[in-house]
Structure 1
Amino acid sequence: MTVGRVLVDAQSARFAGIDPLLPPVTAPADGDVVTAALPDGTRVAGVLHHQVHERRSPARLWSATEVWELAPLLGGTGGAGMDALLRAWRKRLDLARPAERDSACVLTWPSRDAEATRALLDHGLVPLTVIAVRRGPSPPVAGVATIRRATPGDLEAVLALALAELHYSSMVGSTVRRPDAVELKRRGLADRLAAGGPMWLAERDGVAVGLVECAVVTAEPGNWTGSRLPPGRWGYVNCVSVLPGARGSGVGRQLMAFAHRELARLGTVGTYLYYNPPNPLSSVFWPRQGYRPLWTMWEVRPAGALR
């Protein structure tokens, strides 16, 4: 058995004790290996992936252009192992010389691992995004809005709502307002509407005031979703937006109750989504809808600010 396999198995055992919803750890994809040693000689490792998104990539709407992402293999060492590995990462960055602007260091780790959280904070990383999950039924919610399926003819209304969400998120999370955001959003939404994906509008007096855009994915061994969620068919909530003048009126709650029932009807075992803990709306709204953090995505921008 290799050292990597030992670390993977030990990390799986530790994760199972932290949060029963975490799937077993899988070996990260090939990349640049970073290693570190603890004072007692115990070794930890991580796999570092470097990516530069193309200028017209939709990923640049929620990500820095140059990203250094570390997948830690700490075994059972907890916070001490995380601290040692982050120190080694900092030294590796000194050699790599990342861009001074529009770059980031990113690391995803179980939200309930308080020991590791202390080390991540000490090294300058910020909990910008969480992957939150929800399981269980959602009773109907009465409201003033009428909810219907979005169609290709609704593109302009859907685009306006999606851009409102992007604008707000850019102030309180990882989203970046790019010059070509409108074009990128229009193209992506048009494709999803044409494909008939699950997307619903909330209307008041015939005016679209809320949007929920979803997808259905399968978590299974070997795919990305399977590395983050328990096995099964899951509903993914990609975007929820309510126009500023309609916020606080129950439209969002009504939309999500409807979406939860529809996704359950499609055979999903639960739903998941991303939200930003610094967002004063999302950080209150999503726990009230039954979601709780499973993974936290830690980030520092620019990448050279890692301590």
Structure 2
Amino acid sequence: MPEQIRGDPIDHRADIYALGATLYQMLTGTIPFTRTTPAAMLQAHLFEPPPRPSAADPALPTTLDDVIAIAMAKDPEHRYDSCRSLAAAATRALEPSAPQLVSSDLQGAAAVSPPGAIEFAQPRAHRSRSRTTTIVAATAVAVLTAAVAIALTSRGARTLSGIGIPADTTTAVRTTTSSAPSTSSSASTAWGRDNDLVALFTTLLPATPADSGYQGARCTDLTVLNNGAAPTLECTQDNGIHWYVWSFRRGDPRRDSTFRTNIDNDTTRQTTWTRPSGTGNVRWSYYPGANTGLLTVSFDDPTRAWVVIDVNWDHHTGQELYDQWWTPAPL
């Protein structure tokens, strides 16, 4: 959510943004913003216009473009006032005679774009769509509506922002076949939902949010869609190295794509590693398009198998990251 990335106060409208992004993924089969690095992904959520489902699949009605544009507006004030309203608007968008929203309805729904950015395209005339796409879209909206109804009638369960996965921010995350990796429930409560993740890397991550970790890194919790909002820590160092400890729910294919990144050029290297803590793979490369070194680490042991460490360093090479960050890393 843009407001969370900016460090602004969070309220129920963050859930609406997340629900809009989920609906987009259900309609198109892709996440709203696909980028080569986490930093670029966060930048897209901050500044780029909400993506149009009809651009990903021309058979989808452009009325759904309007729904996504409002749900994923950068300014929370311009979003739907409730998840129920979003679900109702998505249902109306699939009606054969669904009208296009007038431009005033979309005021503020476009991105806050930096100079030179592409402006948000205005809705186009409703185009024909195939019966198959209509059925898929209707199913997606029906699932969304049902999820909202369940969420509104459920009592007692606390949830992670934007998704319907029960979570307790004061105790360790329980281990199930669909949960993120978990260890002992005796972990410190200082990190809330990230307790178990921190317990896996006590020599790398700070013991509390107020402490410093490896190479003086300062770390904070991060909740984003590109790992299904599973526990994640984002860490920054004074020398400009920026890294993430991503956890994934078991079976999530995004673990492997995060490790591989989208960069594969003549600078890319990958090898296995063996240290007292275990074994795994490390991959590093240089992305000339952003003048950034990239490095990712995966783990073979069951307790960390669904964790990926993702490191980047602007104005440096992947080899420099390997030599200066990975080689001495306390893993």
TM-score (norm 2): 0.23
| TM-score for the superposition, normalised by structure 1 | 0.25
